[in-house]
Amino acid sequence: MKLQKQMVRSFSIFIIGLMGFCHAAFAETDVSGEDLKTLLSGNTVEGKYIKWDTTHKMYFEATGKIRRIDSKNKKEKGEWYINGSGELCISMRKEHCNYVMKRDDGGYNVYRSGTLKFTFDKIVSGNPYNL
């Protein structure tokens, strides 16, 4: 019985430690609007669109134009800007403003109304895909 209690205690400590590790692995930090503008202007991001389970590439022209293509070969054009609250606003079919959080792995999560909408997993200088 004593050995069983010790095993349960050890397992509990392991689980608590694992939960702490998982939380730390997914920590996010705020990105200021100015940093976001510098990060995106003239660059291409690669990431995932959560709802449709597709990947995408988006080129953010410094002039405020945006071009996007996804893994289903769907192409879109629109405009982007950073609003006064530091949110990334994108207008394609509709305008949506999103807040962006930097992940510890160097990628970014993009949220709208508290829901993860898409990710920026890699940022590439310029427009290497000719979007």
| The CATH fold of domain 28-125 | Lipocalin (2.40.128)
Residues of the chain with pLDDT > 70, as a percent, come to 80
Instruction: Inform me whether the pLDDT recorded for 1 exceeds 80.
Output: no
pLDDT tens digits, one per residue of 23-80? 445 689 999 999 999 999 999 999 999 988 999 999 999 999 999 999 999 999 999 9
Give the domain ranges of the chain.
Answer: 28-125
Segment 97-116 mean pLDDT: 96
Percent of the chain whose pLDDT exceeds 90: 76
What is the pLDDT confidence band of residue 4, given thresholds at 50, 70 and 90?
A: low
Confidence (pLDDT) at 10? 42
- What average pLDDT does the chain have? 86
Question: Is the Cα torsion angle 17, 48, 108, 118 positive or negative in sign?
Answer: negative
Residue 40 main-chain phi, psi, to 5 deg:
-90, -35
pLDDT at 18: 43
